[in-house]
Amino acid sequence: MEAHKKEGIVAHMDMLLNKSITSNEQHESMITEMKVTLDKVILENARIPQLIEENEKLQKEAKANKTSIQEMMKVLASSGERVIQTGRKLEDKASVETVDKLKHEVAVMRDAVQESNKKMTQIERSGVAAGCGNPKVIQQVEKQVGLLDIRVSELDLRLQLQETINHDGVLMWKLQGYSKRKRDAISGKTLSLYSQPFYTSRYGYKLCGRIYLNGDGSGKGTHLSFFIVVMRGDFDALLPWPFQLPVTLKLLDQNGTGQHIAEHFMPSTSSNSFKRPTTEMNVACGVPTFASHAKLETQTYLKDDTMFLRVEVDCTNAQILC
C-alpha cells in the first residue's frame, strides 16, 4: 500500500484533474443553455403587448363574424323561401314573360348564394386564425348555403327546360359534338341520348325523342336509330289512350335544299309504347334504320359536328285539344 501510494500519486492527480475539467465543461454548457432560454423568455415577453393587441383585434373580428353569420342566416332563410315560391310559380306552367321574371329572380338568388359563400370563407379563415371560431355554427351555415345552392341550381335547370319546352307538338333538337358522342356509343359508354321533353299542347301528351347514334336492333353499327317516347305527363288522366296521333321524324338538311330525311308512322293501338305510362316513360318506338351513317355523315346533314333532328306530332284531325 505504501509503495502504491508513492508510485500512483501522479495517476491519482491526473484522475482528479480530468474530473474537474469534465465538471467545468458541464457547468459551462448549463450556463450557455440558461442564457439561450433567458433570451427566448425576454423575446417572448417583448411580444406580449403585440399578442395582446392581436388577440383584441381577433376578438373584435369574431364578434363581427358572429353578427355577419346571423345576418347571413336571415338572408338564407329569405332566399330559401323565395326558391320555394319560385318553384311553385314554375309548377303553374309559367308564360314566357313569367319565365323571364323567374330567371331574373334565380340570378339574384344565385348572386346571394355566391356572396354568402365568400363571406363564409372569410369568416372561417379569421375564425381559424383567432382560434375562437365556432365550428358547429360555421358547418351549419355552410350546409345551409350548400343546400340552397343545390336548390337554386335545380330551379335554374327547370327554368331552362321550361324555356325550351315546346307546347305545339314539335320538337327541334340540336345535337352538338356528334363525333365524340358516336365514339361513346360505339364503346358502349352512352348507347342512347334523350332530347328535352315537349308537349302536344299546354295540357296535352308529354313526349321526347331518343336516338342511338351507333344504331339499335337492325340498324346497329350502320344507322342512326330515331325513336319517340311517350312520357308520363301531368294531365294523362284527362287524355284518351292509347296515344294515336300521327308522328313524323326528320333529320334536317343544312344546305337549304329541303332534302330532309323523314319517316312518318301512325302509332299502333296494340303497342305498349303508346299506352298510358305507368312509369316515367314508355318503351321507345320508331325507326331503327332511320339514316345510314354513310348518308348522315355528309355536309348535307352534319356541319360543324352538329346535326338537327325534328319530331312533329299532327293534331289536325284529333278529337281533342291535343
Which of 138, 164, 190 terminates a domain? The answer is 164
Are 146 and 201 in a shared domain?
A: no
Identify the helix (H) or strand (E) that includes residue 21: helix 9-91
Among the listed residues 271, 290, 295, the one whose alpha carbon sits nearest the alpha carbon of residue 226 = 290
Using the predicted structure, report yes or no on whether residue 208 has a pLDDT greater than 80: yes
Tally of structural domains, the chain: 2
DSSP per residue, 79-99: HHHHHHHHHHHHHTT--HHHH
241-271: per-residue pLDDT in tens? 999 999 999 999 999 999 999 999 999 999 9
| Claim to verify: residue 215 and residue 233 sit in the same structural domain | yes
Mean of pLDDT values over 290-304: 96
Question: Phi and psi (nearest 5°) for 64?
Answer: -65, -40
Here the CATH number for the domain that contains residue 285 is: 2.60.210.10
Domain that holds residue 260: 170-313
Q: How confident is residue 303, by pLDDT bands cut at 50, 70 and 90?
A: very high
Say how far apart CA 297 and CA 231 lie, in whole Å: 30
Locate cell 303553374: which residue? 92
User: In this predicted model, which residue has the larger pLDDT, 288 or 109?
Assistant: 288
* Last residue within a domain, chosen from 145, 164, 183: 164
pLDDT value of position 165: 75
pLDDT tens digits, one per residue of 75-105: 666 665 666 556 555 545 555 555 566 666 6
**Does residue 319 lie within any of the structural domains?**
no
Res 317 pLDDT > 60: yes
Lowest mean pLDDT among 49-63, 152-166, 225-239: 152-166
**How many CA atoms lie less than 13 Å away from 87 in the CB half-sphere?**
13
- 130 SS3 class: helix
Determine the straight-line distance between the first and last CA of the chain, rounded to whole angstroms.
Answer: 131
**What is the per-residue pLDDT for 247?**
97
| Whole-number pLDDT of residue 284 | 96
Identify the domain boundary among 149, 164, 179.
164
**pLDDT single digits (tens) 25-78:** 666 777 777 777 777 767 766 777 777 777 777 777 666 666 666 666 666 666
Going by pLDDT thresholds of 50, 70 and 90, the confidence category of residue 302 is very high
Is residue 72 included in any domain, yes or no?
yes
Do 188 and 109 share a structural domain? no
Q: Is residue 322 in a domain?
A: no
pLDDT reported for residue 164: 63
- Which pLDDT score is estimated for 40? 74
> What is the predicted pLDDT for the residue at 65?
65
**Are 157 and 15 in a shared domain?**
yes
Return the closest-CA partner of residue 123 out of 142, 149, 147, 109: 142
The reply to whether 1 and 62 lie within a common domain is: yes
Confidence grade of residue 155 (pLDDT, cut at 50, 70, 90): low
Domain co-membership, 176 together with 140: no
Q: Which residue has the higher pLDDT, 200 or 110?
A: 200
pLDDT of residue 42: 72
Average pLDDT on 111-125 reads 66
Q: How many residues does the chain have?
A: 322
| 3 state SS of 102 | helix
Task: Find residue 224's DSSP bridge partners.
Answer: 291
pLDDT of res. 216 = 96
Q: Is residue 321 domain-resident?
A: no
